[in-house]
Amino acid sequence: MKDLIQKAAEALLQSRHAIALTGAGISTESGIPDFRGPDGLWTKNPEAERMAYESYFKFQKNPREYWIERLTGPSILGDLEKAAPNPGHLALAELEQMEILKCVITQNIDNLHQKAGSKKVLDYHGNMSLLRCYSCDARFDPRQFDLERLFREDRLPPLCPRCNGVLKSDIVHFHEAIPMDVADQSQEEALKCDLMLICGTSATVFPFALLPRMARQRSLGQGTMIIEINAGPTPLTQEKISDFLIQGRTGEILPLIVQEVRKSWSKNRH
């Protein structure tokens, strides 16, 4: 393990454009369950997964009902507002402050990278603290809309101040397209990076799982380093898309990597 941590730290120090891809595994140490791990939401409750596959169709069919459910029903991930970033999130934010990490592309909707201080975050599956217009993709802070009052006065769904389209949560549901702006920027980063850290994801959900493959494809012979940090191997490990896997908890391994980086990092390196 120690040598893999050193190898990862050296690669970060050598990198010109390092990025990180993250999944639910990086937030389990913040008390938010993942989906497909041994204690994952879908692993334990396949019915909940089946329901999640219907959310988008429900919204398209009856946005008012969708909103009533969102405002009155329980959140399957618990109270995300109260969740706090853990040492894994903080380590990535620190690498950004050191100008080594250029961007985080996350599948998580929990806003914890932003809470940890990361500035360049692409929310690939949306962000629970935002609303997005179904027609023009504009995003808004939900506090602008007094949703409780719209509910009381039976005036749901909230409408877009720009185009009068229907607003939904910014969360990207199954069957829903990844918003164009985030999809384009993420692909650009994956094609530009010379180091990709992949943290806490089963890498089984597409199109996100294409990003490492794009980086590998583009880099054939040009040496993009792809490093996984995960509780166990993933298809990226098995298919040798990644160069190596550091097996363990992101909240423990990422701070150790930053510690190693700090030993030989100097301000004028990057």
Q: Of residues 35, 59, 66, 67, which one binds ligand APR by CB under 6 A?
A: 35
The amino acid that residue 200 corresponds to is G
| 125 is a site residue for ligand APR (CB under 6 A) | yes
Nearer to ligand APR, 24 or 101 (CB): 24
Active site residue 113: no
Minimum gap (Å) between residue 125 Cβ and ligand APR: 5
- The CA distance from 250 to 270, in Å, is 25
Q: Of residues 4, 6, 29, 45, which one binds ligand APR by CB under 6 A?
A: 29
Nearer to ligand APR, 150 or 187 (CB): 187
Nearer to ligand APR, 15 or 86 (CB): 86
Nearer to ligand APR, 86 or 160 (CB): 86
| 230 is a site residue for ligand APR (CB under 6 A) | yes
CA dihedral 91, 93, 94, 95 (to 10 degrees): 90
Burial degree of 254 (CB within 10 A; 0-12, 13-18, 19+): buried
Stretch near ligand APR under the rule CB under 6 A, chosen from 2-10, 76-84, 95-103, 247-255 = 247-255
- The CA distance from 182 to 105, in Å, is 9
SS (H, E, C) 98-143: CCCEEEEEECCCCCHHHHHCCCCEEECCCCCCCEEECCCCCEECHH
Q: Is 133 left (phi over 0), alpha (psi -120 to 50) or beta?
A: beta
Report 170-229 residues binding ligand APR (CB under 6 A): 200-202, 204-205
CA dihedral 134, 169, 87, 94 (to 10 degrees): 40
Nearer to ligand APR, 83 or 205 (CB): 205
Stretch near ligand APR under the rule CB under 6 A, chosen from 3-11, 19-27, 133-141, 159-167 = 19-27
Q: Is 29 left (phi over 0), alpha (psi -120 to 50) or beta?
A: alpha
Report 66-95 residues binding ligand APR (CB under 6 A): none
| 232 is a site residue for ligand APR (CB under 6 A) | yes
CA dihedral 140, 176, 174, 25 (to 10 degrees): -50
- The CA distance from 158 to 166, in Å, is 6
Q: Of residues 11, 21, 28, 211, which one binds ligand APR by CB under 6 A?
A: 28
> Residue 159 forms beta bridges with which residues?
166
| 37 is a site residue for ligand APR (CB under 6 A) | yes
Catalytic residue, candidates 125, 173, 175, 270:
125
| 36 is a site residue for ligand APR (CB under 6 A) | yes
Question: Which residues form the catalytic set?
Answer: 125
